[in-house]
A and B are shown apart, each in its own frame.
Chain A
Amino acid sequence: MSSDVRFTDFKSDKQPTWCPGCGDFGTMNGMMKGLAETGNDPDNTFVVAGIGCSGKIGTYMHSYALHGVHGRALPVGTGVKMARPDLEVMVAGGDGDGYSIGAGHFVHAVRRNVDMTYVVMDNRIYGLTKGQASPTSRSDFETSTTPEGPKQPPVNPLALALASGASFIAQSFSSDALRHQEIIEEAIEHDGFGFVNVFSPCVTFNDVDTYDYFRDSLVDLQEEGHDPNDYEAAKEVILDGDKEYQGVMYQDENSVPYHEQHGVTEDMSDIPEGAPEDAMDLVREFY
Chain B
Amino acid sequence: MAEDLNWAIGGEAGDGIDSTGKIFAQALSRAGRHVFTSKDFASRIRGGYTAYKIRTSVDEVQSVVDRLDILVALTQRTIDENLDELHEGSAIIYDGERSWEADIPEEMTAVDVPLKSLAEEAGGAIMRNVVALGAACEITGFDVEYLDESLEKRFGGKGSKIVENNKEAARLGQEYVQENYDLSHLGYDVETTDEDYVLLNGDEAIGMGALAAGCRFYAGYPITPATNVMEYLTGRIEEYGGHVVQAEDELSAINMALGAARAGARSMTATSGPGIDLMAETFGLVATSETPLVIVDVMRSGPSTGMPTKQEQGDLNMTLYGGHGEIPRFVITPTTISECFWKTVEAFNYAEKYQTPVYVVADLALAVTEQTFPPEAFDMDDVEIDRGKLVDDDEVDEWLDAQGRFRAHAVTDDGISPRAIPGTTDGAHMSTGLEHDELGRRTEDEDERVQQVDKRNRKVETAKENEEWDYREFGDADADNLVISWGSNEGALVEALEYLEEDGIDVRVISVPYIFPRPDLTEEIEAADDTIVVECNATGQFADVIEHDALTRVKRINKYTGVRFKADELATEITDKLSEEVPAQ
Q: Is the interface of B mostly helix, strand, loop or mixed?
A: mixed
> B431 → chain A, closest Cβ, in Å?
5
Question: C-beta contact mask, A243-287 vs B, less than 8 Å → 1, else 0?
Answer: 000000000000000000011101111011111100110111011
Point out the residue from B29, B241, B375 that lies within 8 Å of A280, measured CB to CB.
Answer: B375
Inter-chain contact B432/A67, CB cutoff 8 Å: yes
Q: For the complex, what is the distance from the CA of A102 to the CA of B336, rounded to whole Å? A: 39
Q: For the complex, what is the distance from the CA of A78 to the CA of B265, rounded to whole Å? A: 13
> Does any Cβ of A come within 8 Å of B112's Cβ?
no
Among A48, A62, A64, A78, find the residue whose CB has the most chain B CB atoms closer than 10 A: A64
> Does any Cβ of B come within 8 Å of A139's Cβ?
no
> B517 → chain A, closest Cβ, in Å?
25
Q: For the complex, what is the distance from the CA of A71 to the CA of B30, rounded to whole Å? A: 51
Interface-located stretch among A83-91, A144-152, A177-185? A83-91
Q: For the complex, what is the distance from the CA of A239 to the CA of B360, rounded to whole Å? A: 48
Q: Give the chain B neighbours of A43 by CB distance below 8 A.
A: 422-428
Q: Give the chain B neighbours of A83 by CB distance below 8 A.
A: 216-217, 259-261, 263-265, 267
14 more contacts with CB within 8 A, not counting A64-B427, A274-B380, are A14-B441, A66-B262, A67-B433, A72-B251, A76-B256, A76-B258, A78-B259, A84-B422, A87-B422, A272-B385, A274-B383, A283-B198, A286-B198, A287-B30
> A270 → chain B, closest Cβ, in Å?
8
Give A79's nearest chain B residue, CB to CB.
B259
Point out the residue from A69, A268, A286 that lies within 8 Å of B217, measured CB to CB.
Answer: A268
Q: Give the chain B neighbours of A65 by CB distance below 8 A.
A: 428-431
Interface residues of A in 6-63 (CB under 8 A from B): 12-14, 42-48, 58-59, 62-63
Inter-chain contact A79/B255, CB cutoff 8 Å: yes
Inter-chain contact B403/A13, CB cutoff 8 Å: yes
Inter-chain contact A275/B212, CB cutoff 8 Å: yes
Given A46-B263, A82-B256, A269-B263: A58 in contact with B240 (beta carbons within 8 A): no
Inter-chain contact A84/B263, CB cutoff 8 Å: yes
Interface-located stretch among B242-250, B489-497, B499-507? B242-250
Q: Is the interface of A mostly helix, strand, loop or mixed?
A: mixed
Inter-chain contact B425/A79, CB cutoff 8 Å: no
Q: For the complex, what is the distance from the CA of A282 to the CA of B236, rounded to whole Å? A: 9
Inter-chain contact B243/A75, CB cutoff 8 Å: no
Q: Give the chain B neighbours of A153 by CB distance below 8 A.
A: none
Q: For the complex, what is the distance from the CA of A81 to the CA of B247, rounded to whole Å? A: 15
Chain A residues within CB distance 8 Å of chain B: 12-14, 42-48, 58-59, 62-69, 71-72, 74-84, 86-87, 104-105, 107-108, 262-264, 266-269, 271-276, 279-280, 282-284, 286-287
Give B253's nearest chain A residue, CB to CB.
A75
Chain B residues within CB distance 8 Å of chain A: 29-30, 196-200, 204, 208, 211-214, 216-217, 219, 236, 238, 240-243, 245, 247-249, 251-253, 255-267, 281-282, 285, 289, 375, 378, 380-381, 383-385, 403, 421-434, 441-442
Inter-chain contact B422/A64, CB cutoff 8 Å: yes
Q: For the complex, what is the distance from the CA of A86 to the CA of B263, rounded to whole Å? A: 10
Q: For the complex, what is the distance from the CA of A118 to the CA of B428, rounded to whole Å? A: 20
> B201 → chain A, closest Cβ, in Å?
10
> B322 → chain A, closest Cβ, in Å?
15
Inter-chain contact A269/B421, CB cutoff 8 Å: yes
Given A13-B403, A43-B428: A105 in contact with B248 (beta carbons within 8 A): yes
Inter-chain contact A282/B211, CB cutoff 8 Å: yes
Inter-chain contact A66/B281, CB cutoff 8 Å: no
> B396 → chain A, closest Cβ, in Å?
10
Q: Give the chain B neighbours of A266 by CB distance below 8 A.
A: 216, 241-242
> B156 → chain A, closest Cβ, in Å?
13
Give A73's nearest chain B residue, CB to CB.
B255
> A79 → chain B, closest Cβ, in Å?
3
Q: Give the chain A neighbours of B265 by CB distance below 8 A.
A: 83-84, 268-269
Among B197, B213, B265, B422, find the residue whose CB has the most chain A CB atoms closer than 10 A: B422
> A267 → chain B, closest Cβ, in Å?
8
Q: Give the chain A neighbours of B247 by CB distance below 8 A.
A: 75, 108
> B351 → chain A, closest Cβ, in Å?
13
Inter-chain contact B422/A44, CB cutoff 8 Å: yes
Point out the residue from A105, A279, A286 that lies within 8 Å of B204, measured CB to CB.
Answer: A286
